[in-house]
Amino acid sequence: MKVTNITLSLFLCLVILTPSATADPLKPGPRERCPLCGMYVAPYPNWIASITFSDGSRLYFDGPRDLFTYLFQLPSEGRRHSDITLIRVIDHKTHDWIDARSAWFISGSSVSGPMGEELITFSDQEEARRFFREKRGAALLSFAEVTPAILEELTGTGGFAHVGGFEPIGVMGAHTHHPGGIMLSYRYMTMEMEGNRDGTDRVGKNEVHTKFMVAPEKMTMEMHMLGAMVAPSPDLTFTAMVPYLVFEMDNERKMMTNIQPFTTKSEGVGDMKVGALYHFFHKGAHDLIANGGLSLPTGSIDRKDDTPTGENQHLPYPMQLGSGTFDLLPGITYIGRSDPWSWGAQGIITLRLGENSNDYTLGNRIDLTGWVTRKVNRKFSLSARLDGKSWGNIDGTDSDLSPATVAMTPAADPDRRGGTRLDLLLGLALDTSGGRHRGHRFALEGGLPLYQRLDGPQLETDWKLTAGWQWTF
Ligand SMILES: [Cu+2]
């Protein structure tokens, strides 16, 4: 009897479902996007929601949250509530399409969707109740009970960016924003370099003094960087960055047995960068972004300070704030994601165009980095990153350097500037993105070199630290 009942209901289900399923497949196409946030919906089959209109057209949303937001915005663009024939969501347990109007919704649970906190849906009220208890939901609601106020309370971690957004704070240009989205950021970076290295070997001060009267001892590089990102469309984000640099270098001059320490400082705006990020590939959990950038010669290459040679001396290369040339910054970024993990890799090349006004060109450089991040909970995530870079020596000679300076310090030798370095960095981030993608992200990343080879003697890097704040609205 029981078996017959089940068979009968299954049969009825098939009879009811089959015509609409064959004539009108429910599955969204791979390029189908959520009309609210522009996100592709196909990669998140367990979260999709849809609205079918009386003219047969259908909209897909990346989750029930955006579905309700859309419904609350109606009427818009000629669509009215009366045109809707069917609203469907995915059952959280069975992953089947269900009628949203008879479904149950849980808000505020510990389970999040592709864009952060979501409404979790069930067709069965008992299942909904059990989930509500187990995942500590805030409210168990019928379709009619979901209000704009309920949506406002939802916060998330995935709403920060359109593509990516989980990368460590030391990585730049590795996410795009939702169309119309704007992000402002501030980063503080500091790097400490102490002691000299030639090739992969450490070189003592005395050894440097056998060839040079001046031995650089220590350099601190600080950078305050303001950034802005604007997304005119779902796949395009424009970026701009303005750095403010503070350099300080401790040196020691040795003449016979007379040792004289001295410190030089330089400070000011560095080279501004403008760029565009184009999201050109998407498949499942994998995305590719093309990075294009241009560095403008806004940083000074004529910084001076007092040295033992005299007052107001033109400082050597590492103390100058810019390249003095326009530099092209082409690159590519890969992003992958499988909750709670995400990972990525980025390669950027810096190509110097021409010669600067002081008759030299900084070496071209290549930056390659790869990272893994893991969400600890809704707000916190941890990251580990390998950061490799290689940069060439200087072409030409700074025509403003005095012959005395050139003869005295390895920092003024254009053939002792190149190098290769691999850093290991660990980071953490606190993300408070919420509602409609608005939010703040605070992050920290620090690390040390695992390997460095320098055309030296040249100051070696000991550690670096980046702290940042990102605000999306
Ligand atoms: Cu951004």
Output the pLDDT for position 41: 86
pLDDT tens per residue across span 49-73? 999 999 988 999 988 988 998 898 8
Distance (angstroms) between ligand 1 centre and the Cα of 334 equals: 16
Distance (angstroms) between ligand 1 centre and the Cα of 52 equals: 34
Distance (angstroms) between ligand 1 centre and the Cα of 175 equals: 6
Q: Band the pLDDT of 39: cuts 50, 70, 90.
A: confident
Q: Does 43 sit behind a cis peptide bond, omega within 30 degrees of 0 on the bond before it?
A: no
Output the pLDDT for position 6: 53
Q: Does 168 sit behind a cis peptide bond, omega within 30 degrees of 0 on the bond before it?
A: no
Distance (angstroms) between ligand 1 centre and the Cα of 70 equals: 25
Q: Does 297 sit behind a cis peptide bond, omega within 30 degrees of 0 on the bond before it?
A: no
Residue 9 has pLDDT above 80, yes or no: no
Strand boundaries in 308-406, DSSP class E: 310-314, 326-328, 331-338, 341-353, 360-361, 365-375, 380-391, 395-396
pLDDT tens per residue across span 295-334? 999 999 999 999 988 899 999 999 999 999 999 999 999 9
Residue 15 has pLDDT above 70, yes or no: no
Closest among 123, 113, 108, 122 to 44, alpha carbons compared: 113
Distance (angstroms) between ligand 1 centre and the Cα of 287 equals: 16
User: How would DSSP label each residue in 158-187?
Assistant: GGG-SEE--S-TT--S-EE--TT-EEEEEE
Distance (angstroms) between ligand 1 centre and the Cα of 339 equals: 20
Other CB atoms closer than 10 Å to residue 233's CB: what's the count? 13
Distance (angstroms) between ligand 1 centre and the Cα of 437 equals: 11
Distance (angstroms) between ligand 1 centre and the Cα of 308 equals: 45
Domains of the chain: 24-154 (no CATH), 159-472 (2.40.160.40)
Q: What is d(CA 315, CA 102) in angstroms, rounded to the nearest whole number? A: 74
Output the pLDDT for position 20: 42
Distance (angstroms) between ligand 1 centre and the Cα of 239 equals: 8
What's the mean pLDDT in 186-199?
A: 96
- The answer to whether residues 121 and 64 touch, using CB atoms and an 8 Å cutoff, is yes
Distance (angstroms) between ligand 1 centre and the Cα of 229 equals: 5
Non-local CB neighbours of 219 within 8 Å, separated by 6+ positions: 192, 193, 194, 247, 248, 249, 250, 318, 459
Lowest mean pLDDT among 42-46, 229-233, 301-305, 436-440: 436-440
Distance (angstroms) between ligand 1 centre and the Cα of 389 equals: 23
> Looking at this protein, which amino acid is placed at residue 216?
P
- The answer to whether residues 461 and 419 touch, using CB atoms and an 8 Å cutoff, is no
- The answer to whether residues 220 and 188 touch, using CB atoms and an 8 Å cutoff, is no
Output the pLDDT for position 24: 44
- The answer to whether residues 299 and 385 touch, using CB atoms and an 8 Å cutoff, is no
Distance (angstroms) between ligand 1 centre and the Cα of 19 equals: 45
Non-local CB neighbours of 12 within 8 Å, separated by 6+ positions: none
Output the pLDDT for position 160: 62
What's the mean pLDDT in 168-185?
A: 88
Residue 238 has pLDDT above 90, yes or no: yes
pLDDT tens per residue across span 77-97? 788 888 999 999 999 999 999
Output the pLDDT for position 181: 79
On the CB side of 68, CA atoms within 13 Å amount to 25
Lowest mean pLDDT among 163-167, 200-204, 345-349: 163-167
Distance (angstroms) between ligand 1 centre and the Cα of 349 equals: 21
